[in-house]
Structure 1
C-alpha cells in the first residue's frame, strides 16, 4: 500500500513538472540557507568545548567603576591567582596567560613576525586546557626559563618536521634562544584564543598585595566537580575587599564613598566567545546576538519555504479537485487521500533536501568567505547532519504537506463534480494569513538590513576626532637600531606631510592602562600612551586648550597632554593647563604637568564611549611609523619609501598597512553580518515571491469565470488587473503594519550595542513598505495580466 502511495505520487508530480519544479526550488533554496546558517550557529556554539574539562573552566573578570565610568576587563590583579590556589578549596588550580607583544623569531636568515599567536603562560596551563602534546612532557614542558612549546604547524613551518623537541628558536625581540620542550597539536579554530607559541614566563609571577593594579594577565581557574561558583565569587570579592582596605597605594574608604568599586566575577570558558567583549581579551570574540538572529532567520526562511509549498499546492486545487471527486466516488477514503498527498509532499521534500545539501556544499566556500569561517563538511559533520536531515525531511514534509492534504481531501464529490470547488480567494482566510506571515518576515528582514547598512555607513563617515585617511603605517620599525633616522629620511620625501613614531594608534590594539593621580585625588585608571612631538598633527587631531608637544620646549619631557574626558573626570573642567598629575609608587614616583587638552577622539570601537586618556612624550619600544601622505601618485611614493627602508634595514621585511583599512577591520564583523543579511533578505524575498506567484495563480484560477463575466459586461484589462492586485496589496499592507513595529523594536535594541549610533530613520520604514508593495505588484502582474487578457469564451463555454 505504501509503495503504491509513493508510486502514484511520483506519477502525479511528473505529470505537473512546472508545479513540481517550483515546489522543489522553493524548498531546496530554503533548506540550503537553513543548512548554511545551521553550520554557522553550530560552529559559534562549539567554541572552547574541545577542552575535556570545559564545564569546569572559568575565567576571572574584573569590573571597575570610577567617577561614574564602568570599565569591564578580561584581566585581573596579580594576587587573584594565588588566592584561588591557596584560599579556595573549590579550586583545583589556576593559571595566568598573557599575550606576548612584538614577537619575532629567526628562521634561517629571515626574521618572522609571530604576533597574535604567542603567549606567556605558567607551567600548569596543560592542567587546565586540553592541549595534547605530540612530543614532550606536559608536566615539565614550561618549567624551565627560556623554554617554549610550539604547535605542529609551526614545527613544520620552521623545521619541516614535527619531532623538534630539543631544537632551539632564536627570539629576536630579546636576543635569546628558546629551547623547544614540546610540540602540541594545532589548537582548534573554535577557541577564544589560539596559540602557536607558549613561552615560559621565566619565573613564577610575583605575588603582591596590589589588588587595585591590573596586569595584562588573564586568570583562568579549574574548579572541582560540583563546586559552588557563586560561593567562590563571594570569597574572591571578600579577599579583594580585604586586600584593598589594607592597600598602601589607595584610600579605600575614600574610594568607595564616591560609589566606586572593584568587582570580580567568573565566566564559563564556553561563554567567552559569544558573551564577552571586555578590555584586554586574548582574541577577537563573536556576538551572541548574531547567533540568535541567524538562528531565527534560518527558522523563518524554512517556514517561508513550507508556506510556499502549501500555497502552491492549494493553487492547484482546481486542477486536482475532479481527481479527488472521482477517487471518492470510486470508494477512496479520506485517510487514503491524505496519505497520498503526504507521500507527494515527502517526495518533494526529499528531492529538495538532496539538492539543498549539494547547494550548501557548493556555496560553503563563498559562505566561509563572507562569514570569515572555515566550515567544512567532514565525517564529524555527517554524523549529526544525516539524522538531522532525515528528521527535517519528515517534519518539513509532514508540516508542508499537511494543509494541502487535509484541504484537498475535504472536497465533497457532489460539489466538485458540479464545479463548486472552492469559496474563492477571499474566503481563504488561512491562506491569506500565510501570505501576511511571509511578507511580515520579509519586510522585517528588509528593515533590519537597511538599519544595519545605515549604521555601518554612519560609522564609516563619522567624525572620529582624527583623520584616518592617507595615513600609511610601517610595521617592524622597532626592530631598527635607529628608527628616528628612518623617520627623518621619510619626512624629507616629496608627498610626505608628516610622520610619527609610536604604536599607540586609534586603530591599533596596543592599549596600555596605567594609574595616574590628578593632584590629591585617588588614582584613576586611564589609557597611558607614549607619543612623539609629531603625533597630534600627523593624526589630524585638534587641541581644545593649550598646546601639543614641541621640540622647542625641553620641559616637555615631564609634560602631559590629556583628552577632554580625562579633564572632565579629573575635575579640571576648562582649567586643566598647569595641573599636576603623578604616576608610579613611592619609589618610582613621577610628576607631570598638563600642557594641553586634545579634543576627544575615538581610539576604540564605536560600541564604547571615549574613556580617559593621557599622553606623554616618550620613546615607545613597540613603535610603528605612521606617515601622512598627500600625493596623487601613491605607487611612486610607496616605491620611494620602500627604497628608503631597504637602505636602512636591508634584512628586515617591509610590512605596511593603511589606517583607514585598519579602522574598517574594527567593524569587519558588522560588515560581514550586513552582507549576509542582504543576501538572506534577498533570498527570503525570492522565496516569498514564489509563494505569492502561487497565490496569484490560485486567485486567477478560482475567479476565472468572474473575470470572464466582467469582461463580457465591459470591464477593461486595467480594471481587472487592479481588482486582482488589490487583494494582494492589501495583504502586504497588513504585513507591513505587523512587521514595522517589531522590526523597529528589534533594531533599536541592536543599536544599543553602539555608544555612537544613528537613530532609525523614518524613510527606512517607508522604503521597506513601498518596496514590498512594488515587489508584490511585479510578482503578481504576470498572472493578473494573463487572467485579464484571457478570452472569456474559454471560461464561460461550459456554463
Structure 2
C-alpha cells in the first residue's frame, strides 16, 4: 500500500529562477507500486529521507538545463521548505489518472503520521494479489470502520457510530479499481477530471450505426440493381463459371470499393481532426509511427467491412439461374422480387430509425443545456471577475480588496475560497440543533466575509448580513434548505446550531440570517444544507464589475498585483466561464452528437436517393402507361413517394419510444432538468419525413415529367 497527498501549486525557487509547480507528497514506496521508471537515482531509496524529491526529465531540462539536478535543492518560497533532488524519472504516461512533475517525500510530515482516521486528504493505493477479487476485501472494511473510526466519532461527536448513522449520516471506506477511475468514477473529488464511459459507449454506438447505414446503402443498391448484372451472371454460368468464382468476384469488387473508401476516409480524417479536436476538446492524432498497430488495424477493419458488406449481394447475385435470366424471366429481375423489396424496406426503416433517434437526442441535449444556461441559480454570474490564489499576497490580500472596492469601475469585492459552480473547497460541517439534539446534520460550510452576499447578488429572505462586529464571529447564515431541514422554515432566526471539532470541543452558533437557496454546485446535484460563517477562508478575490470597464480594470489590477508581488502569477477568470465549464462535457457531447446526427441523416438520404432512382427506373413502363391513361404529375409523385414515406413513419414509431427511454435515463443525472416535450419527437419525425419527401420527390418528378412515348418504346 502507498499514499499520495496533494501538495498544491506553490512557487519554487532555484538560484535566481522562480517557477510555479504542481506537485504531490508520496510515501517512499510509491515507485514500487507504480511503474514509473527513474533515469537517475534509486526508486527504492530516493524518498526515504524527509525533504527529498523526484522530478521528471522534462522538469529537469526546463529548470536545470545542462546541469545535473541530482543533489540540487529547490525551495517553496512561501513556506521556506527545501527539497533535495534525489531522482529523475520519465514523464508520467498520458493515460495515467495523475500527472505531476514533482513527487516529494511524505516522510517527516506531521499529518502523514496522524493517528486520526477522520482525515480524508490522502489517496491510498493497494496492490492486491493477482486474481484476487477486491470485493472480498471491501466486504471487510465495515469492520475496520467500526474498530478504528467508531471511537473517533465517539470522541468528536459524543455518540457511537450506530447512533451517528441513525441520525441520517453515513461513513464508510470503499475500494475502486485503478482502471475504473478515469471513465467510471462517480466520486465527488478525484485527482483529475475524468471522462464518462457512457459517452464512450454512445459515440462508439453512433460510429457503428453510421457504418451500418453506409453498409446498408451498399447492400440496398447492390441488390436493387441486381437486374442490370443478371445477364452477366447468366452468361458467366453458361461459360462454365461456378458459384464460388462469382462470389469471389463480387466480394473482390466490394473489398476494392472499401479500400478506396478507406483511403478517402484517412485523408478526410487528417483534414477534419483539428476541427473535431476543437469540438470535442481532445488531442487525437493519426501518428502512424507512435501507433504501429493503427495502419494494420485499419486495413484489417477495411477488409472485414468489405467482406461483410459484400457477402449478401455476392451470394444473392451468384444464385441466379442462367436459363431464367437469359430468357428474361422473373429471376431476371431479382431486384424487384418480394423478398428483395422486403429486405430493402427493412434496411431503410433501420437507417431512419437511427437518424430520428439521434435527432431526438440532439434536441433534448440542446434543450437541457439551454435550460441550464437560462436557469436562475440564485447568484449573479455576469460581470463577476474571480482573481485566483490571492492568499499568496498575505496581508496585501485585504489591501487589494479595499483598493478595488474604492475603484469607481467596481460594484463590490469580497474574499473567499468558496465559489459557486464548479469545484471548490467545500468542507463538511456537522451541526445539531438546540431543539433537536438527536438530529446531527451534515452541512457544507462556507467561510466568507461580510461583502460576499452583496457581491454575488444573493438574496436574504430573513435576518441580516454579516457585519464587522466581533459578536458576528459566532453568527451564521444558513440557506433555505438548511432551515427546512431543521424544521425552521417559518422562523430560523436566533436558533442555535452546535458543532464539535475533532477533539470534541463544541461551539454554539446563532442564526442571524437565511439566504435564498442558490446552486453552489452543478445542477447535477440537489441543493444541500449550507452554513456560512464569518472569515476563516481566503483563496480568491471575487469582484463585481460594471459593464464595459473590464479590460481597463484588469490591466490596473494586474499592475497593482505586480506591485505586491512580481513573482506570483496573476490569474483570473469570469464566474460565468466557470459556470459553463461545469457542463463542458455535456456541451461537447451534444455538439458531437449533433454532428453525427447530421452525417447520419445525410448518409441515409443518399441511400434513399439511390433507391428512389432505381425504383423510378424500374417502374418506367408503369409510369408511362399511367400518364397515357391521364395520370397527373402529382399522381405519379404520390405513387412513387408513398411507399418510402410509410417506411419513414414506421421508423418514427420505433425510434420515439427508444429515444424517450434513453434521454429520460440521461436526464436523471441532473437534479434539475427539463420535461421531454411531445414536440421534440414531432420535430424529429417531421425532419425525417421532409428529407425523405424531398429526396424521393426529386426523382419521382423527373420520372413523371419524362415522355411516356419514349419509356413505352424502350420497353
Distance 2:148 2:171 in 1: 11
Secondary structure of the equivalent of 1:264? Answer: coil
Is the partner of 1:265 in helix, strand or coil? coil
**1:426 to 1:633, Cα distance in 2 relative to 1, 3 A:** farther
Distance 2:673 2:24 in 1: 35
TM-score by length of structure 2 reads 0.92
Report the Cα offset of residue 767 of structure 1.
Answer: 0.5
| Structure 1 pair 569–108 and aligned structure 2 pair: CA distance change class (3 A) | farther
**Tell me, which stretches of 5 or more residues in structure 1 are unaligned?**
1-93
Partner of 2:543: 627
> How many angstroms apart in 2 are the aligned matches of 1:381 and 1:762?
49
**Residue among 90, 96, 109 paired with 2:3:** 96
Q: For 1:541, what is the secondary structure of its paired residue? A: coil
Question: Following the alignment from structure 1 to structure 2, what is the Cα–Cα distance between the partners of residues 593 and 470?
Answer: 33
Please tell me whether residue 305 in structure 1 is matched to residue 214 in structure 2. Answer: yes
The whole-number CA distance in structure 1 between the counterparts of 2:62 and 2:591 is 35
**Equivalent residue, structure 2, for 1:30:** none
- The within-5 A match list for 1:473-552 is 473-480=386-393, 481-519=395-433, 520-521=437-438, 523-551=440-468
Q: How far has the Cα of 1:583 moved from its partner?
A: 3.6
Q: How does 1:587-666 map to 2 (within 5 A)?
A: 589-621=506-538, 623-666=539-582
Query: Is 1:104–1:172's contact at 8 Å kept on the other side of the alignment?
Result: yes
State the Cα deviation string for residues 568-604 of structure 1 (Å, max 9, x = none). Answer: 3344443432213224144754332221122222222
**Alignment check: 8 A CA contact 2:156 2:501 kept:** no
Correspondence for 1:328 among 237, 246, 253: 237
Shift of 1:635: 2.4
Aligned-residue offset at 1:469: 0.9
Structure 1: how far apart are the matches of 2:587 and 2:148?
44
Alignment of 1:304-383 (within 5 A): 304-378=213-287, 382-383=291-292
Superposition map of 1:50-69 within 5 A: none
For residues 179 and 550 of structure 2, the distance between their equivalents in structure 1, rounded to whole angstroms, comes to 46
Alignment of 1:584 with 2:479, yes or no, is: no
Shift of 1:194: 1.6
* 2:169–2:440 contact (8 Å) kept in structure 1: no
Instruction: Give yes or no for the alignment of 1:146 onto 2:51.
Output: yes
| Structure 1 residues 750 and 590, CA gap change in structure 2 (3 angstroms) | same
* 2:613 aligned to which of 691, 697, 708: 697
TM-score, normalized by length of structure 1? Answer: 0.83
Could you tell me how far 1:358 is from its partner in structure 2? 3.0
Shift of 1:647: 4.1
> Where in structure 2 are the equivalents of 1:33-72 lying within 5 Å?
none
Residue 319 of structure 2, aligned match among 410, 421, 441: 410
Q: Shift of the alpha carbon at 1:405?
A: 1.9
**2:370 pairs with 1:453:** no
Residues 134-213 of structure 1 mapped to structure 2, 5 A cutoff? 134-161=39-66, 163-203=68-108, 205-206=111-112, 210-211=116-117, 213=118
Deviations 1:168-193, CA, capped at 9 Å, x for gaps: 22212323222222222111221222
The secondary structure found in structure 1 opposite 2:548 is coil
Note the C-alpha offset of 1:165: 1.9
Matched with 1:7 is: none
- Partner SS state of residue 97, structure 2: coil
State the aligned residue count.
701
C-alpha displacement of 1:399: 1.6
Relative contact order: is structure 1 or structure 2 higher (C-alpha 8 Å, sep ≥ 6)? 1
Query: 8 Å contact 1:151–1:184 — kept in the other structure?
Result: yes
How big is each residue's C-alpha offset from its partner over 1:590-634, in whole Å with a ceiling of 9 and x where there is no partner? 33222112222222222122223222111424x211110122343
8 Å CA contact retained: 1:163, 1:183: no
Q: Is the 1:543–1:598 contact (alpha carbons within 8 Å) kept by the matching residues of 2?
A: yes
Q: CA RMSD in A?
A: 2.4
What is the CA–CA distance in structure 2 between the aligned matches of 1:323 and 1:426, rounded to whole Å? 19
Q: Would the alpha carbon gap of residues 576 and 173 (structure 1) be closer, same or farther in structure 2, given more than 3 Å must change?
A: farther
CA distance in 1 between counterparts of 2:439 and 2:106 reads 32
Distance 1:743 1:752, change over 3 A: same
- Asked whether the 8 Å contact 2:227–2:334 carries over to 1, the reply is no
For 2:67 and 2:185, the matched residues in 1 are separated by 35
Give SS of 1:497's match. Answer: strand
- C-alpha distance 673-566 of structure 1, shift in aligned 2 (>3 A): same
1:62-111 Cα distance to aligned partner (Å, 9 max, x none):
xxxxxxxxxxxxxxxxxxxxxxxxxxxxxxxx222222235222466675
Find the aligned partners of 1:600 and 1:107 in 2 and give their Cα distance: 48
Superposition pairs of residues 561-576 of structure 1, within 5 angstroms: 561-576=477-492
d(CA) in 1 for partners of 2:328, 2:169:
80
Task: State how far apart, in whole Å, the 2-side matches of 1:121 and 1:517 are.
Answer: 34
Is this contact kept in 1: 2:224–2:335, CA < 8 A? no
- 1:728–1:389: structure 2 CA closer, same or farther, 3 Å change rule? same
Q: Which moved more, 1:363-372 or 1:430-439?
A: 363-372
For the residues of structure 1 that align with 2:440 and 2:47, how far apart are their CA atoms?
36
